[in-house]
Amino acid sequence: MQTKLIKFLSGIILSIGIALFILVKFYLRKLNFENNIIVFILGIAPNFLFALFTSTALASEYFRIKKQKREKFDRDYKLLLVGIFLILILEEFFPFFSGSKVTDIYDIFASLVGILIGYLFYSIIIKRY
């Protein structure tokens, strides 16, 4: 029963993440805010949200794997997170999705924090189940 709840919550988290990503990326960032803190947060939000919600969505796949194959999934999950992080770093230096011409160390840091929080979520799941 608890695994169904976690799957459900993961789906809700992913849905909220996608909605927030779209809201920030395509609407809020285009507004002119005078507060520098808000501008900064909106600047790093897409990277953070993408990293967080991608890693969280992947973590929910843990329950679809049979118990015998969970160790392999654990290794693959960690490799996927490293791959996602490397892609996000490459995107900062050589934009192929966003078209942004600015390399921002804060975006890289936000991506790392998002992935680490997603991994923390995953770690909590595997310790409990």
Domain extent for 109 = 2-128
Q: Rounded to whole angstroms, how far apart are CA atoms 100 and 108?
A: 14
**61 and 118 in contact (C-beta within 8 Å)?**
no
pLDDT of residue 82: 94
Q: What is the pLDDT of residues 87-121, one digit of tens each?
A: 888 888 887 766 666 778 888 999 999 999 989 98
Q: How does pLDDT run across 18-67, given as a tens digit for each residue?
A: 888 889 888 888 888 888 898 888 888 888 888 888 888 777 777 777 77
How many independent structural domains does the chain possess? Answer: 1
- What is the pTM assigned to this prediction? 0.77
The token duo for 111 is 């991506």
